[in-house]
């Protein structure tokens, strides 16, 4: 049977979860596992109150988002308006009032669209032990991670440098066939230091490094992105699931990447 432990601080929670208990954020993933009897270790640890971890605040050039901020909190914050199109793509309104930014980072395939955006934005994470890490390294070892995320920090992208796109079969709310995010800093019309991330194309959100490299110094037009498109899925072997086969995902990824890069931002 499931046992639930309630603690007051994230540090206590991390100590409990190091004993393999699962941390309850918004509940959208953990409670589903509880309902279906799928928790490998039926122990849950939760915070009495997560209010302190829900803040979204500008701090100099960076913006800090508390790990317990919900998608609804993101949508209500004018500080992160560039992330509104991303948060709106997660679940329906009820899910968005529950699902947290921190939880999204740990959401298994094919979920975790918000983390795809954070990965493209080179998010830095403050962890429960006070250390900092970048999202990409955390995702690489996500399954063995025993620390908890306290907050996420990102730089506000300039102009339309940030784009996001979610591809699903059901509108307006559906699970990802894939999601794509790009951060395209430009100087004098040439891209420099692009970051592109895919969701639902691997067990975790991943960067498309070959495509990023192909965009270095390129212009954002049909010719400029041609190399990136042909390198879009290099090194990726997308999974099969009920929504799409890995083969299909590979075939359509360049099409959607092209729309992302040339479409000038997100589409509902």
Provide, rounded to whole angstroms, the least separation between the CB of residue 98 and other proteins. 6
* Chain contacts with other proteins (rule: CB under 8 A): 1-4, 6, 24, 26-28, 31-32, 34-37, 42, 44, 46, 72, 91-95, 97-98, 172-173
User: Closer CB to other proteins, residue 51 or residue 81?
Assistant: 51
179 with 167: CB under 8 angstroms? yes
d(CA 198, CA 113): 9
Neighbours of 141 (CB within 10 A): 10
User: Closer CB to other proteins, residue 33 or residue 219?
Assistant: 33
Provide, rounded to whole angstroms, the least separation between the CB of residue 224 and other proteins. 35
User: Closer CB to other proteins, residue 75 or residue 210?
Assistant: 75
Provide, rounded to whole angstroms, the least separation between the CB of residue 72 and other proteins. 7
Provide, rounded to whole angstroms, the least separation between the CB of residue 146 and other proteins. 22
User: Closer CB to other proteins, residue 60 or residue 92?
Assistant: 92
Neighbours of 169 (CB within 10 A): 10
């Amino acid at each position: 049977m499931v046992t639930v432990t309630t603690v007051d601080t994230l540090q206590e929670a991390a100590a409990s979860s190091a004993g393999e208990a699962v941390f309850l954020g918004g509940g959208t993933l953990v409670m589903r596992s509880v309902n279906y009897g799928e928790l490998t270790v039926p122990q849950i640890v939760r915070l009495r109150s997560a209010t302190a971890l829900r803040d979204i605040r500008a701090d100099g050039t960076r913006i800090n988002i508390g790990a317990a901020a919900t998608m609804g909190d993101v949508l209500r914050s004018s500080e992160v308006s560039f992330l509104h199109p991303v948060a709106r793509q997660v679940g329906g309104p009820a899910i968005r009032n529950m699902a947290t930014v921190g939880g999204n980072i740990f959401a298994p395939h094919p979920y975790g669209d918000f983390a795809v955006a954070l990965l493209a934005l080179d998010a830095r994470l403050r962890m429960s032990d006070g250390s900092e890490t970048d999202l990409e390294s955390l995702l690489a070892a996500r399954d063995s991670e025993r620390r908890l995320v306290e907050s996420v920090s990102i730089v506000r992208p300039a102009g339309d440098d940030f784009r996001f796109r979610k591809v699903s079969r059901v509108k307006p709310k559906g699970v990802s066939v894939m999601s794509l995010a790009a951060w395209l800093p430009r100087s004098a019309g040439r891209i420099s230091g692009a970051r592109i991330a895919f969701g639902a194309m691997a067990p975790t959100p991943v960067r498309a490094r070959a495509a990023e490299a192909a965009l270095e110094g390129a212009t954002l037009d049909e010719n400029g992105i041609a190399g990136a498109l042909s390198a879009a899925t290099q090194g990726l072997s997308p999974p099969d699931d009920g929504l799409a086969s890995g083969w299909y995902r590979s075939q359509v990824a360049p099409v959607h990447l092209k729309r992302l890069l040339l479409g000038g931002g997100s589409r509902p």
